[in-house]
Amino acid sequence: MKRLLLPTFLFLFSVGLMAQSALADFVQNPLLKNANISLLVKDLKSNKSLYSYRTNNSTVPASTMKLVTTATALEMFGPDFRFSTTLEIDGEVKDSVLNGNLIIRGGGDPTLGSDKVGDRNFMQKWIAAVRLAGIKKINGRIIANTSIFDQQVVNPRWIWEDMGNYYAPGIHGISYLDNTFRLYLRSGKAGTQTEVVRTEPEMAGMTFQNYVMSANIGSDNAYFYGEPFSASRTLFGEIPANKDEFAVKGDLPNPGLLLAQHFHAALLEAGFGISEFPLVDLFNTKVAKVIYTHQSAPLSEIITETNVKSNNHFAEYLFKYLATTKAIPATNKSAVSVIESFWRQRGLPVNQLFMNDGSGLSPNNGVSATFFVNLLTYMRKESKYAEVFQKSLAVSGKSGTLTSFLAKSNLKGKVFAKSGTLAQVKSYAGYVETGSTTLAFAIIVNNPNGSSSEVVKKMEQFLIDISK
């Protein structure tokens, strides 16, 4: 028996050395040795931590923050939950005439008219519902009611340069067309100023101060600047030269009003009479008589789009909607409170979570590797929706933001994770299926001495090394 002990000891010792070597190779690399890193890898079968480095350091996570948002929403509402938008009337219908207003009451649905999830052609169903209610004429208005959320539609923790761009969407009580418009520009030879051609959709009264230049580049780096509810946008940057129409995407300044205008126009085209122009109601929380309820796609589809494609718009709506369980109108502060309370009750170290938004766009967010791995462990071992949650994640070498990640390695198709990217931030958190076990991992790197692509290569190598 004694003869067998030495080989066993040597094997375990060598495994330990290999583990330490993989970790040391990563954190001591010249690209990373001065970076702020939080890293943890846990074997979910044995429940043991295999690799750890500054595990409790709260670091800027970028879009891996979406894991917190989507996991909370899934646990609180379930995969079959659907957002509701109601059509309401605040007057009587007599002789086919509504003596009052037709109200679109927003329910925080991020998918209304989305080209990503749900029914983009929903408006015909709405028209049919109005007709079914016996209405042919409206002596009043089409009113978009957005009172479910507060009027702080732009997160104050986002940087000013992001405001007005599609990836930093305003969070209104009504979302429409992904809160995104496209501005088409015409470019000439490199070094010349571009011209505004049109917008899609059309937006009456919208003005643009255009300083975008033509350049010999393959893709655009043009950016919008503008406030919510404002009908003015300023553009800077560059787009490829010699394009008849080149689209850049911006954030709709008032999606509720645009929806009301489009519904108004659709009703007129369908033969309805309407006496007054549409408007937005920001404050009235009193529900009128409901004549129709529009439901979104199920939450399982919404969180999959959120995580796989890293959809900021969907994430922020999920984040703010969580606050409606506490109070209406929902606020960012209440959303944070709801999320912290939920995970505190489940034993997670919320003192290592500094959450300012749902998407991870804010550079003021902070999360530790410990918090992420604890959340991932909970979602795999304790959640009723473990399978739904994992299916919502991108797959290495195959889908979403992980399409190129580990695509040429033996881990292709074996990593299910969320990525995160901001200036001087790169992060990944999720699961590695090794065959014999599942690893939950989180790697967050802030301020490396190298490019994002260089850091990603080191992260890939680390995951390859530890999965052997």
pLDDT digits (tens, 9 = 90+) for 406-415: 999 999 999 9
Question: Is the pLDDT confidence value at 244 over 80?
Answer: yes
pLDDT of the residue at 141: 97
**What are 211-237's pLDDT values in tens digits?**
999 999 998 899 999 888 888 999 999
Percent of the chain exceeding pLDDT 70 equals 96
Sheet of strand 394-395, all strands in order from the earlier edge strand to the far edge: 48-53, 36-43, 438-446, 425-433, 415-422, 394-395
- Of 120-124, 144-148, 358-362, which range is least confident? 120-124
> Is 267 domain-assigned?
yes
pLDDT confidence bin for 20, thresholds 50/70/90:
low
Which of 297, 323, 358 is where one domain is finished?
A: 297
Q: What is the pTM of this model?
A: 0.93
CA within 13 Å, CB half, 219: 2
pLDDT of the residue at 6: 44
pLDDT confidence bin for 4, thresholds 50/70/90:
very low
Which of 265, 297, 329 is where one domain is finished?
A: 297
> Is 11 domain-assigned?
no
Same structural domain for residues 368 and 401?
yes
> Is 17 domain-assigned?
no
pLDDT of the residue at 33: 85
**What are 426-445's pLDDT values in tens digits?**
999 999 999 889 999 999 99
Same structural domain for residues 325 and 427?
yes
Same structural domain for residues 142 and 283?
yes
CA distance 88 to 101: 8
Task: Give the DSSP letter of residue 398.
Answer: T
The DSSP code sequence of 335-396 is HHHHHHHHHHTTT--GGGEE-S-SSS--TT-EE-HHHHHHHHHHHHHT-TTHHHHHHTSEET
Residue 361, CA distances (Å) to 165, 302, 326, 465, 467 in order = 12, 19, 24, 31, 31
Mean pLDDT rounded to a whole number for the chain: 94
Count CB atoms within 10 A of the CB of residue 82. 18
Q: Which residues make Cβ contacts (< 8 Å) with residue 331, sequence separation at least 6? A: 149, 150, 152, 320, 323
Our separate counts of H helices and E strands in the chain read: 10, 25
Q: What is the mean pLDDT of residues 382-404?
A: 98
Same structural domain for residues 246 and 187?
yes
> Is 3 domain-assigned?
no
Domain with residue 342: its CATH number is 3.40.710.10
Phi-psi region of 273 (alpha: psi -120 to 50; beta: other; left: phi over 0): beta
Question: How do beta strands 195-200 and 273-274 pair?
Answer: unpaired
> Is 7 domain-assigned?
no
pLDDT of the residue at 391: 98
Same structural domain for residues 224 and 343?
no
Same structural domain for residues 445 and 340?
yes
pLDDT of the residue at 14: 41
Helix 255-269 to helix 123-132 angle (10° resolution) is: 60
> Is 188 domain-assigned?
yes
pLDDT confidence bin for 8, thresholds 50/70/90:
very low
Same structural domain for residues 234 and 166?
yes
Count CB atoms within 10 A of the CB of residue 73. 25
Q: Which residues make Cβ contacts (< 8 Å) with residue 452, sequence separation at least 6? A: 421, 426
> Is 268 domain-assigned?
yes
**What are 258-294's pLDDT values in tens digits?**
999 999 999 999 999 999 999 999 999 888 999 999 9
Instruction: Evaluate whether 396 touches 412 at the Cβ level (below 8 Å).
Output: yes
Helix 66-77 to helix 369-381 angle (10° resolution) is: 30
Same structural domain for residues 450 and 351?
yes
Same structural domain for residues 329 and 439?
yes
Same structural domain for residues 109 and 174?
no
State the residue range of the domain holding 42: 25-79+301-466
Q: What is the mean pLDDT of residues 32-37?
A: 93
pLDDT of the residue at 320: 98
Length of the chain counted residue by residue: 468
Same structural domain for residues 338 and 449?
yes
Q: Considering its fold, how many domains does the chain have in total?
A: 3
**What are 39-81's pLDDT values in tens digits?**
999 999 999 999 999 999 999 999 999 999 999 999 999 999 9
pLDDT confidence bin for 312, thresholds 50/70/90:
very high
pLDDT of the residue at 19: 54
Question: How do beta strands 180-186 and 195-200 pair?
Answer: antiparallel
> Is 328 domain-assigned?
yes
Question: Is the pLDDT confidence value at 9 over 70?
Answer: no
Phi-psi region of 92 (alpha: psi -120 to 50; beta: other; left: phi over 0): beta
Domain with residue 93: its CATH number is 3.50.80.20
Instruction: Evaluate whether 113 touches 259 at the Cβ level (below 8 Å).
Output: yes
Same structural domain for residues 224 and 274?
no
